[in-house]
Structure 1
Amino acid sequence: MATEEIRVCGIVQGVGFRPTVYRLAKTYGLCGDVCNDGEGVLIRVSGSEEAITEFLARLQTECPPLARINQLTRTTYEGEFKFDDFVISTSVNNTIKTEITPDAAICPQCQQEIFDPFSRFYRYPFTNCTHCGPRLSIIRAIPYDRCNTSMSAFVMCSECGKEYHDVENRRFHAQPVGCHVCGPAAWLERADGKSVTASMFSMLDDVDAVCTLLQKGEIVAIKGLGGIHLACDATQETVVQKLRQRKKRYHKPFALMARNVEIIEQYCIVNAKEKELLTSSAAPIVLLQAIGKKVAPSIASGQSTLGFMLPYTPLHHLILRRMNRPIVLTSGNLADEPQCIDNDEAREKLGTIADYFLFHNREIINRVDDSVVRVVGDKVQTIRRARGYAPAAISLPSGFDNVPQILAMGSELKNTFCLLREGKAILSQHLGDLENAAAFNAYQENLNLYLNLFEHQPEIIAIDKHPEYLSSKLGKELADTNKIKIYPIQHHHAHIAACMAENGIPLDSPPILGIALDGLGYGHNGTLWGGEFLLADYRKFQRLATFKSVAMIGAKQAIYQPWRNTYAQLVAANLWDDCEQKYTDLEIFKFLKNKPLKLLNQLTEKGINSPPASSVGRLFDAVAAAIGIYRDECSYEGQAAIAMEAIVDVSSLNNDKETLIYPFSFSFLDSIYCIDPRPMWQALLNDLQQQIPQSIMAAKFHKGLANTIVGMVKHLSQENLISQVALTGGVFQNRILLEQVTKELQILGIKVLTHSLVPANDGGLSLGQAVIAAAQLIHES
């Protein structure tokens, strides 16, 4: 007989792991116990060695759907063993090392129960079990027990209690379990405060009434899993426009939800990989190619894709039961503010937007936005990492195993922060743009929560080098207060390191070539970068090449007024005089002549509010404005570039004729190669004069830029040993550019690293900051 202690680490709490252990232990006639503690799950077991080995083998193959075993260690148990059967013991509180499970979409069994008139969960909008339901959104502390969640406010009835304590039941120790008798409840309110009566609708209950309201063209605020959403019929243009005006979100695409995949397929192409994502337990918003039936035109104007998700809570399923068309389901907030999570806050902030509210009385502890993904080739590309994915830990490559605890503060936009310890990185959910005061407050609240949840005491804080980022300022304050070391990390180096880390590049690997293209990031000596070729490892980098720096006239204004970038590019290319002589009939020339060019020139010459930037993001804006796309104003960063990607002529893109490619030139200046777009602008102005269609010009630009990037890699490969290239930064969320560059580099025999687990945009930056700080610390040690 053997007596062993077995430690299991990973996502093993709140996912039905202990019942699985119990069932298998009983099957093999083992004695002992299993319990949750701060490190994960602890099993003490006695039986024959053969039985224990088979028990553990089956435990790994029959792991519950939401569980993930990262590590399983066996040691001989030396203590007093008092068990003559196998039992589930009470949770133990000690140092927190376990992981928190992301919120999970409703499982098929629970979905069946809410539509079964003979089930006690029939039409219960908060039905869940150990295989599904809320996790991060309701948790206050670890271990994940009911007393540490917002479900502590609800005392289980005898029926729920019986299932909760029945080890053979699917709801054994399902912490959010409840029913019509004892659990949370939902109700409908009118935004104008008047009473809602059953006689107003033909309805089964308040949840069912929401469907009728949506069909009638009303806007309903719906309190869901990780926040409050605003919903309306996605096929009624009048109500979609009304929602845009009231919410002050004038152009950014709206997310859509449909009852099932079959309805989505009426509006979009859905391949096998995309269907797998839609129906997964993460249930993200998936960007899909639009075809067939049309939604309201203003859902995603200027885009060729629609963002669809399936119902992921019983509440959603019950609302959409009678809905045969898509609905808008967008964050319940005023533009740029965090999503509302509290009923009173929603009444105050959304009362002028929504006509009705569907509330419930289960508190949302942690705000969790919907995740956004797309499939490029056969690989998933994460655009926003939140519900369903966060805060699942990301295992780091070899070499990072014994690093002390590190906190990385992330960026200013699309912020996430990262806790690094013991070879794992825990990224927060997407927290938004910190320049908004409410978002910055929410960022600080979430940071404190995570530090407490995981009992994380950082010995190092990593920040972005930009001195004005609020995340960097807060990082400095925390470092000063706690007297710990701070590591300022260069923005694009962090992008590349994040890509390396999620692709498993070991710490001691030789440098790779990272290509980081984005809107902008703080470079050396106060300059702004955004089109960089860096030879980098985790510790350091060398800048080998860049795009030509061009003034961002008006600084931040250049992000939202694309014409400013067009003018700056033409001046930098010494082509403005040509425009005044040869291209006076062009619309873009006439448009720019009406702007205060004399003032703009003075600002540029004197360096006032016009920092030079090597930004490829702004180059995209400049080209889009020149060919007539969102020339004057954009309401969000990248809007013009996204619209230009959407109109690309595919036949031109796939044609290898050199006449269908805009050329760029290289030069070597101050020990660095520089990509100059001047030839591209000359060719583009000629095309404008010849009235070449926008779609063909957009294709020629994409193709030319991709060829230029690949050409630079070829050139740099002759001088440096380059076998791997990492493609990162927000610009590489452009599907066409990413696919073109990847395909051509692979033809050259170069391994291409791209993002999947974390976003290529600034949402993945904190991971890069954390691993760079770790590598530098290890080197110093």
Structure 2
Amino acid sequence: MMTSAAVRGGLRIALHGVVQGVGFRPFVYRTAVSCGLTGDVRNTSGHVEIHAFGSEPALAAFLDRLAREAPAEARIDRVETSPLDAAPPAGFGVRTSSDVDGGGRESPPDLATCDACLRELFDPLDRRYRYPFINCTDCGPRATIVADLPYDRSRTTMSGFPMCPACAAEYRDPADRRFHAEPIACPACGPRLCWRTVGGGPIAYGEDALAEAVAIVDTGGVIAVKGIGGYQIVCDAQNEAAVARVRAGKCRPRKPLAVMVPDVDDAARLGFLGATEVTLLTGTARPIVLVWRWANAPLADGVAPALPEVGVFLPYSPLHHLLLRELGRPLVVTSGNRGGEPIAIDPDTARAVLGPLTDGILDHDRPVLSRYDDSVARVVAGAPRLLRRARGYAPASLALPAPAPEPVLAVGAHLKHTAALAVGDRAVLGPHTGDLESAETFAAFEQVVTRLGRLWAVRPRIAAHDPHPGYLSTQYATARFPRGERVPVQHHHAHVVATAAEHGVREPFLGIAYDGLGYGDDGTLWGGEILLATYTGFRRVGRFGRAPLPGGAAAVRHPARMALGYLYGAEDLGGQAIPDALAAGLLGRLDAREVDVVRRMVRRGLNAPLVSSAGRLFDAVASLLGVADDAGYEGEAAILLEAAAAGHETVDALRWRLVHRDGLWVYDPAPTIVDALERAAGEPVGMVAARFHAALAEVTVAFAESVQCPTRTVCLGGGVFQNRRLAEAVLAGLRAAGFDAYLGERVPVNDGGISYGQAAVAAARLAGKG
């Protein structure tokens, strides 16, 4: 930043970062006027530009206040100043935005309704009383409505709603909270609600539409609601029949549903809230937060069956506030889709897909340009950790350890998909798309890629992708980018690099990646990997013992098959085998013909690839202990195993063994499985599950201590570390052993963070940096 001594007459100031859509121009205006400056401020395609004239002390004070007093949701990454040799104008104004691209574009996330707007929403004397689209410069839709940058009304879906005189006056008034609030609206000029019956057109508008929706939910019905980032399905969270109907309609038999409540006090009636949970719940992002559920929580059993936690969140739009105020009870608010499909964002899709699942649609006429699901977070080791990065967080950019010499598109993985765009020293991590397992979700992924390129005004020259040839994201990259313009990034390397890059790790580090499955460099399937890594490459130094995956994907859906894989085909690491007699409970539950088929598959190596996977080991143990033989959703068996361990806080670990084989440290799971089955004959299953978690934590620390490496920095990655019990034990164990241990916070450790890791690796390789 330039010092005041260098100022001559005036300054041109360029501010880069998140400085559009967060009330930054009004802040600049008020600050400049209070400092006695003249000049102007405007948005450009890539930054905010200020022309400021005044005395040297006033300009110095202005620069200082820009840094110290910026709006809470702003982020200033870089300040550029240069002298201005021009006659100062008479006052300070806000100029028309410029399309000239100044680089460093940032599109702001959506912001939850602020307290000031909320007071107006329920003030009978306010002209926006009960108006479902109330907003100001501090809150409201952003990423979901913006078509292009700079962020101006004309480039949003509000362009079709001309401001009435009253709104226009507020928009132009520097003293008003809505000064240059681009989505500004009121009942006279803005969007309006309508109620659509199933298969029919609108039959009610405004308050009447809201009343129709409330009446349906109040009597046990199910409705669709057009939210900020797409349609949602809503019902009474205390009504078992309504919850069961939502599950049946979404083809979601057991995966937990999120619950929206009016405020923190209501959330505290459902589960335990620590200070970090409260901060997450009440912040402007308003994610779903997983909290420990009280035994007497007033919720239907079907909301989160067999789980000790429940996902809770607070209303983030005025319409949500109105619904909750009218109904006065917790509501299930879940994505408006059928299983495996993207959430609906346009009225035609909503009517076709959600109409048959609901009793009507609470719709409105403000278009949604970008599909944004709700973000999900969990507090682990005292810190907030995103499990799904979407509304409220995306598309805010993240720093890269090495700037990308040219734009890179990171196409992500297959499950929990995100895409990322690396431009310069920042990576833009797009919103959660879902699992790329249908044509509809793949089309949604293509839309995200197109939109990222448009908003950041770049055409990616390089694609970073997973080597797995079966991933649709990989196929997208290979179909659109020539071989010389593609950077393959091994799956588990991307996992640990995502954590390292987020935390600004610079030196080589030990990466520990535990997940379900990823394509390994040796052609086998990995998932329990210890890597000595830099940003440009890695060396595998440890792994989990291998077992066959009988039937491939069928074993992922049926953990009992994975248990049989360990029982009949666990890698011989010179230790004890797993006796069939110990698995009598499992074998007694299964059809003898299926057991025989799996045994022959394993022994003949037919459709039973070997995997070194932590996630699949969790599945196998869950089945062997009788916790889960089948998985209704990805990761269910491991989630239930963690749930079973709840309440058993201090336990000794099961037996475990590390061996050195072919230059690698290898964890032999057989002694752990045998010990688990022996103890299960006399101990509660929950106690054995807790001992299993303790064993995996000890094994992880032992890996770090056994590997000969020059670093004491450990970065954890992979979906298994979503497990709070395991992650906390591993972090505590590593830190007690003298390691600097890191786990993702703003970037999901699951496959939702893969694209960020890919972007960081590709940028570093292209820049020739480690």
The reply to whether TM is greater than 0.5 is yes
Alignment CA distance shift 1:67-1:622 (3 Å): same
Q: 1:665 aligns with which of 657, 667, 675?
A: 657
Deviations 1:437-470 (A, max 9, x none): 1000010011111111111222321111111111
C-alpha distance in 1, partners of 2:57/2:566?
A: 73
- The answer to whether structure 1 residue 128 and structure 2 residue 135 are counterparts is yes
Please report how far the alpha carbon of residue 553 of structure 1 lies from its aligned counterpart in structure 2 after TM superposition. 0.6
1:568 aligns with 2:565: yes
Tell me if 1:288 matches 2:291: yes
1:693 maps onto 2:714 in alignment: no
Please say if 1:558 is aligned against 2:552: no
CA shift for structure 1 position 281: 0.5
Q: CA deviation at 1:42?
A: 0.5
**Which residue identity does 2:535 align to in structure 1?**
Y
Aligned match of 1:460:
462
Shift of 1:706: 1.0
Identify unmatched segments of 5+ residues in structure 2.
Answer: 1-7
- 1:577-656 pair list within 5 angstroms: 579-580=579-580, 582-583=581-582, 586-592=584-590, 594-631=592-629, 633-651=630-648, 653-655=649-651
Contact conserved, 2:194 with 2:202, CA < 8 A, in 1?
no
1:275 is aligned to: 278
Maintained 8 Å contact 1:208/1:319: no
SS of aligned partner of 2:356: coil
> Structure 2 length normalisation: TM-score?
0.95
- Seen in structure 2, the aligned counterparts of structure 1 residues 155 and 711 have a Cα distance that, compared at 3 Å, is same
Structure 1 residue 193 displacement after superposition: 3.5
The 5 Å alignment of 1:180-199 reads: 180-191=187-198, 193=200
User: Using the alignment, how far apart are the partners of 1:779 and 1:193 within structure 2?
Assistant: 59
Deviations along 1:255-280, one digit per CA (max 9) or x if unpaired, are: 11001111111110111111111110
Superposed CA offset, 1:616-650 (max 9, x none): 1110010001111221x212111011011012153
1:259·1:323 contact (CA, 8 Å) conserved in 2?
A: no
Aligned counterpart, 1:51? 58
- Alignment deviations for residues 553-574 of structure 1 (CA, whole Å, 9 cap, x no partner): 1101111101001000111348
Three-state SS of the structure 2 residue aligned to 1:38 is coil
Aligned mate of 2:704, from 678, 703, 713 = 713
For structure 1, which runs of at least 5 residues remain unmatched after alignment? Answer: none
Please show how residues 243-258 of structure 1 align to structure 2 within 5 Å: 243-258=246-261
| Equivalent position to 1:320, from 315, 321, 324 | 324
Aligned to 1:231, the other structure's residue is in SS state: strand
Whole-angstrom CA distance in 1 between matches of 2:529 and 2:755: 19
Which residue is 2:392 aligned to?
388
Quick one: distance in 2 between partners of 1:382 and 1:736?
A: 16
* 2:5 corresponds to: none
Is the 2:536–2:764 contact (alpha carbons within 8 Å) kept by the matching residues of 1?
yes
Give the 3-state SS of the residue equivalent to 1:8 in structure 2: strand
Aligned mate of 1:376, from 377, 380, 390: 380
More moved, 145-154 vs 568-577: 568-577
1:335-364 deviation line (CA, Å, top 9, x unaligned):
110001111211111111111210000000
Question: Does 2:491 align with 1:500?
Answer: no
Deviations 1:205-225 (A, max 9, x none): 322443332221110100010
Tell me how far apart the structure 2 counterparts of residues 86 and 679 of structure 1 sit (CA, whole Å): 74
Match of 1:476 among 463, 478, 496: 478
Q: 2:120 aligns with which of 108, 113, 116?
A: 113
Pair 109,775 (structure 1): closer, same or farther in 2 beyond 3 Å: same
Aligned pairs (5 A) from 1:260-271? 260-271=263-274
User: Counterparts of 1:184 and 1:122 in 2: how far apart (Å)?
Assistant: 14
- Aligned equivalents of 1:670 and 1:577: distance in 2? 20
Return the match for 1:94 from 100, 104, 113. Answer: 100
CA contact (8 A) 2:194 2:364 kept: yes
Amino acid at match of 1:412: H
Q: Is the 8 A contact 1:256 1:328 kept in 2?
A: yes
Q: Which amino acid aligns with 1:540?
A: G
Q: Is the 1:259–1:317 Cα contact (8 Å) retained in structure 2?
A: yes
Q: Give the residue type in structure 2 aligned to 1:704.
A: A
Q: Secondary structure at the match of 2:688?
A: helix
Letter in 2 for 1:211: V
1:2 pairs with one of 3, 9, 12: 9
Cα distance in 1 between the residues matched to 2:577 and 2:428: 53
Counterpart CA distance in 2 for 1:238 and 1:280 is 33
* Alpha carbons 1:663, 1:708 under 8 Å: kept: no
Distance in 2, matches of 1:256 and 1:92, equals 43
* Cα gap change, 1:502 to 1:249, in 2 (>3 Å): same
Deviation at 1:595, TM superposition (A): 3.8
Does 2:668 match 1:676? yes
Is the 2:403–2:767 Cα contact (8 Å) retained in structure 1? no
Counterpart-to-counterpart distance in 1, 2:19 and 2:553: 46
TM-score scaled by structure 1? 0.94
Q: By how many angstroms is 1:473 displaced?
A: 1.2
Q: 1:776 aligns with which of 758, 765, 768?
A: 765
Match of 1:345 among 323, 345, 349: 349
Deviation readout 1:546-595 (Å, 9 max, x if unpaired): 00111111101111101001000111348999745x447x3212134624
Query: Any idea what SS the aligned residue of 2:486 has?
Result: strand
Q: For each residue in 1:99-152, what CA deviation from the matched residue of structure 2 results, as whole angstroms up to 9, or x when unmatched?
A: 010000000111011101111100100000110000010111111111111111
Is contact 2:43–2:98 with CA below 8 Å preserved after alignment? yes
Aligned partner of 1:515 in structure 2 is 512
Contact conserved, 1:496 with 1:516, CA < 8 A, in 2? yes
User: What code does the residue aligned with 1:600 have?
Assistant: V
Report the 3-state secondary structure (helix = DSSP H, G, I; strand = E; otherwise coil) of the residue aligned with 1:752: strand
Q: Is 1:752 equivalent to 2:741 in the alignment?
A: yes
TM-superposed CA distance for 1:597, in Å, is 3.3
User: SS of 1:138's equivalent?
Assistant: coil
Distance, in Å, in 2 between the alignment partners of 1:447 and 1:210 is 35
Within the candidate set 421, 424, 431, 1:422 is matched to 424
C-alpha distance in structure 2 between counterparts of 1:356 and 1:770, whole Å? 42
Choose 698-707 or 453-462, whichever is displaced more: 453-462
- Where 1:132 maps in the other structure, the secondary structure is coil
Root-mean-square deviation (Å): 1.9
In 2: Cα distance, 1:644 partner to 1:136 partner: 38
Structure 2 residue identity aligned to 1:742: L
Query: Is 1:331 the counterpart of 2:335 in the alignment?
Result: yes
C-alpha distance in 1 between matches for 2:417 and 2:87: 49
Question: In structure 2, do the counterparts of structure 1 residues 5 and 467 end up closer, same or farther at CA, with 3 Å as the change threshold?
Answer: same
In structure 1, the partner of 2:449 is 447
Identity of aligned residues (%): 40
**In 2, Cα distance between the equivalents of 1:691 and 1:558?**
29
Tell me how far apart the structure 1 counterparts of residues 25 and 646 of structure 2 sit (CA, whole Å). 55
Choose the corresponding residue for 1:528, options 525, 528, 534.
525
Name whichever of 491-500 and 289-298 sits farther off. 289-298
| Distance apart, 1:715 and its partner CA | 1.5
Distance 1:343 1:576 in 2: 61
Matched, 1:485 2:482: no
Instruction: Classify 1:150/1:667 alpha carbon distance in 2 versus 1 (closer, same or farther; 3 Å).
Output: same
